Amino acid sequence: MAHKNAFYAQSGGVSAVINASACGVLQTARKHSAEIGKVYAGRNGIVGALTEDLIDTSLESEAAIAALKHTAGAAFGSCRYKLKSLHENRAQYQRLIDVFRAHDIGFFFYNGGGDSQDTAHKVSQMSADLAYPIVCIGIPKTVDNDLPITDCSPGFGSTAKYVATAIREAAFDLAAMSATSTKVFALEVMGRHAGWATAACALAADREGSAPHILLLPEIVFDERRFLAKVEETLQRRGHCVIAVSEGIKGADGEFLAAGSKDAFGHAQLGGVAPVITGLIGAKLGCKCHWAVPDYLQRSGRHIASATDLEQAYAVGRAAVEFALAGSNAVMPAIRRLSDAPYRWDIIAAPLAEIANQEKFLPADFISADGFGITEAARRYLAPLILGEAYPPFKNGLPDYVTLQNVPVPKKLASSFAV
Amino acid sequence: MAHKNAFYAQSGGVSAVINASACGVLQTARKHSAEIGKVYAGRNGIVGALTEDLIDTSLESEAAIAALKHTAGAAFGSCRYKLKSLHENRAQYQRLIDVFRAHDIGFFFYNGGGDSQDTAHKVSQMSADLAYPIVCIGIPKTVDNDLPITDCSPGFGSTAKYVATAIREAAFDLAAMSATSTKVFALEVMGRHAGWATAACALAADREGSAPHILLLPEIVFDERRFLAKVEETLQRRGHCVIAVSEGIKGADGEFLAAGSKDAFGHAQLGGVAPVITGLIGAKLGCKCHWAVPDYLQRSGRHIASATDLEQAYAVGRAAVEFALAGSNAVMPAIRRLSDAPYRWDIIAAPLAEIANQEKFLPADFISADGFGITEAARRYLAPLILGEAYPPFKNGLPDYVTLQNVPVPKKLASSFAV
């Protein structure tokens, strides 16, 4: 294989450990400098490739690259931007080729969720159709855990640990207050269509009757009457009620309970269902409620990352480079579970064609019969993903995250490109 | 002093470290068993005294008591319940005396914020007026940090560390997303009237221009036009804007921006101002916004407690017992700052009469000239309070908090009492 430069970029909503995947890519590429030249990072994902806004990662110190492993956010900027298909927008792909050719890029590493794997897949198709040879490897990341084939998606385990920790702590709070004050607490959890993170809240319930008492999963149609009956029963038995509610729950009419606007992909932008359901409880059952919407905090909470998740995030970054060097193309490193307890896993190559635009929902046998909880099978699946603590270094009482220099690569093309 | 039993109770909203104060009380009392008999905890604060619902803490193991130091919530239950004055409700005080006499209680330790110090103060007045001798010591606790005299209130430092960590992490997230998606993030912070916790968010800004860019403090009247101009200016200079907003901000009409109901003290129950101000920004400036309301998470987040705060919480519990044994009465252990950096402090006795029903607001010289930030003086004050990490033990990937047995003390009174 000729000595080519590589392109790496981050896409979609960030996770607590996407920078650990970046670290895996960059450290592994540096070890293989005989085969890979410089790694150019796209500033703000694929947008950086289209606008020729590339970052020269070779100018970052070893220490700065190592610090990515413990740094929140997405160090090179991320994007919400979906490529159209080749026949819909040929110019976009021609532009990518122009940029890649100008910078002698022969490897394309794209780190993200379902939409991002679709981008990686389209770039690999373009490579064939437009006869520009480039090795395309997707790198999994999504706190929603909805990528197919892989046992889990890096980023999810840390969000799962965050929300399970948060709901346990809030439950201790509520239990203390409930005799004379608040009786219900609802935590709103991310996951537009798939209830993985909401389900993970149930890991906080380590004994009969402990919180959370009710999960509202997006896989189950919200039924006001059954829900209020369950809340009332819980209040009678426990004196208080802790609820984990997915941002994406819908009523029988198919509408989200949380009204919202739309993002660049045309997805509804959600948020605010927790006040809706606690408002309902307050009105119908007459008790005081509290609610929390952690929003970004649950996906960028690097301070409470899962060590297991962190290790996997690094591993898929490293494997992406190793797969590329071993001659694989149009694949994504996927995690394969070998055993539940102890959790053992390895990494296999999954074809991008089988991953792009697929969503993995909670299977029916992971959801309890009444729809408000999870089964033992779900617990076996989820439990190992939050194991281990991986605290970042702290400075002056706060997590000490690195900000890279992100020095731009001098442009070589005369033309610009509007995205 | 006669060998008497002690009453200890927790009151008001919990903090991440109120159980550390309980640990300080209980461990110190156990060391002085020659002078203090059993410590009976009130189940749900003063309500437990009124209803003769006492917990025999002597039945808890040394290990369980020690584990309180790392446990979220309020182990004996808290309450929102304010005693009326002696002349308004003499029966209530007579009942307290009946319960204390029946259980040979000669020490009253009450752990809470301003309302709780008022309760402790009233009990000490009752002791004199009704000629029932009881030593009354208040123990400070409030995440709002609004108690007077004491340098800070235990619980605040951990909330400050939580919100500053959260806003730093969310800011890394937002910075990565802002080129193609969300441009504004707002974190809603507790603090009904005093902006201490909102101000603490500014500790996350460790260099010129870093987030948070705007604080909305309850001490400053919200001015829509000035605020939107500041957001617009920040977006132009930084490309994104991170805002910490106090739940308690009010408009020029004196009304809270967040509509809400009222709690048992007649305080407005707030929550939901972050969606109000991001909705305003979206409507007026047309950019995509995210918001978070961590609510209980910020006051029960023991996993990210400040080691300094934890040490102080334990110390005020210990000092409460030591003051009582040294003959003090009607006082609260207060923290006295001796130096900023390194942070040195000791504990002095502050009269309850000077503490009850006082609120300490951000002083004018802690607020920047434009009202949207803090001064260096504020930073010097706040910085040491979040120093040090004090992680709880983890089990199965989650904080391992203790739940006490909380065995009730057999009732001795024939009568019951309705609260």
**B149 and B214, same structural domain?**
no
Which ranges in A289-332 belong to alpha helices (H)?
Answer: 297-300, 307-325
- Mean pLDDT score of chain A, rounded to an integer? 94
Share of chain B above pLDDT 70, in %: 96
The confidence score (pLDDT) of residue B413 equals: 97
**A108 and A86, same structural domain?**
yes
Residue B198 falls within a domain, yes or no?
yes
What CATH number is associated with residue B265? 3.40.50.460
Distance from B313 to chain A by nearest Cα, in Å? 17
**Is the CB of A164 less than 8 angstroms away from the CB of B397?**
yes
**Is the CB of A181 less than 8 angstroms away from the CB of B80?**
yes
Q: How confident is the model at residue A130 (pLDDT cuts 50, 70, 90)?
A: confident
**A291 and A185, same structural domain?**
yes
Phi-psi region of B254 (alpha: psi -120 to 50; beta: other; left: phi over 0): left
Number of domains in chain A: 2
Q: Decide if pLDDT at A261 tops 90.
A: no
Q: Decide if pLDDT at B419 tops 90.
A: no
Q: What confidence tens digit (pLDDT) does each residue in B148-187 have? A: 999 999 999 999 999 999 999 999 999 999 999 999 999 9
Q: How many CB pairs under 8 A join A and B?
A: 226
Q: What confidence tens digit (pLDDT) does each residue in A32-60 have? A: 999 999 999 999 999 999 999 999 999 99
**A191 and A85, same structural domain?**
no
- Return the structure tokens found at A283: 């009105």
Q: Decide if pLDDT at B261 tops 60.
A: no
The CB-side HSE value for B38 (13 A sphere, CA atoms) comes to 15
> What residues of A are in contact with residue B387 (Cβ under 8 Å)?
396-397
**Is the CB of B397 less than 8 angstroms away from the CB of A179?**
no
The confidence score (pLDDT) of residue B77 equals: 98
Q: Decide if pLDDT at A1 tops 70.
A: no
C-beta of residue B79 within 8 angstroms of C-beta of residue B11? yes
**B289 and B238, same structural domain?**
yes
Residue B417 falls within a domain, yes or no?
no
- Return the structure tokens found at B157: 């430092």
What CATH number is associated with residue A320? 3.40.50.450
Residue A366 falls within a domain, yes or no?
no
> If you measure CA to CA, which chain A residue comes closest to B264?
A181
The confidence score (pLDDT) of residue B260 equals: 53
> If you measure CA to CA, which chain B residue comes closest to A167?
B297
**A313 and A256, same structural domain?**
no
**A320 and A277, same structural domain?**
no
Residue A95 falls within a domain, yes or no?
yes
Q: What distance in Å separates the CA atoms of residue B27 and residue A375, rounded to the nearest whole number?
A: 41
Three-class HEC string of chain B = CCCEEEEEEECCCCCCCHHHHHHHHHHHHHHCCCCEEEEEEECCCHHHHHCCCEEEHHHCCHHHHHHHHHCCCCCCCCCCCCCCCCCCCHHHHHHHHHHHHHCCEEEEEEEECHHHHHHHHHHHHHHHHCCCCCEEEEEECCCCCCCCCCCCCCCHHHHHHHHHHHHHHHHHHHHHHCCCCCCEEEEEECCCCCCHHHHHHHHHCCCCCCCCCEEECCCCCCCHHHHHHHHHHHHHHHCCEEEEEECCCECCCCCECCCCEECCCCCEECCCHHHHHHHHHHHHHCCCEEEEECCCHHHHCHHHCEHHHHHHHHHHHHHHHHHHHCCCCCEEEEEEEEECCCCEEEEEEEEHHHHCCCCCCCCHHHECCCCCCECHHHHHHHHHHHCCECCCCEECCEECCCCCCCCECCCCCCCCCCC
DSSP one-letter code for A29: H
C-beta of residue B343 within 8 angstroms of C-beta of residue B312? no
Out of B53, B118, B144, B146, which one is annotated catalytic?
B144
* Cβ-based neighbours of B250, under 8 Å, separated by 6 or more: B218, B221, B222, B256, B257
Assess whether A53 carries a catalytic annotation: no
ipTM over 0.90: yes
Which residues of chain A from 16 to 55 reach within 8 Å of chain B, CB to CB?
Answer: 16, 43-45, 47
Note down the domain range covering A47.
Answer: 4-141+303-358+388-399
Residue A148 falls within a domain, yes or no?
no
**A18 and A72, same structural domain?**
yes
**A253 and A188, same structural domain?**
yes
**B94 and B170, same structural domain?**
no
The confidence score (pLDDT) of residue B216 equals: 98
C-beta of residue B261 within 8 angstroms of C-beta of residue B241? no
Which residues of chain B from 244 to 303 reach within 8 Å of chain A, CB to CB?
Answer: 261, 263-264, 269, 271-272, 275, 282, 288, 290-297, 299-303
Residue B418 falls within a domain, yes or no?
no
**B217 and B137, same structural domain?**
no
The confidence score (pLDDT) of residue A263 equals: 46
Q: What confidence tens digit (pLDDT) does each residue in A191-238 have? A: 989 999 999 999 999 988 999 999 999 999 999 999 999 999 999 999
The confidence score (pLDDT) of residue B263 equals: 46
**A130 and A103, same structural domain?**
yes
> What residues of B are in contact with residue A168 (Cβ under 8 Å)?
72, 398-399, 401
Q: What confidence tens digit (pLDDT) does each residue in A56-108 have? A: 999 999 999 999 999 999 999 999 998 888 889 989 999 999 999 999 999 99
The confidence score (pLDDT) of residue A159 equals: 98
Within an 8 Å CB–CB cutoff, is residue A242 touching chain B?
Answer: no
Q: Which of A296, A306, A389 sits opposite B170 (nearest CB)?
A: A296
Q: Decide if pLDDT at A361 tops 80.
A: yes
**Is the CB of A181 less than 8 angstroms away from the CB of B79?**
yes
> If you measure CA to CA, which chain A residue comes closest to B10?
A176
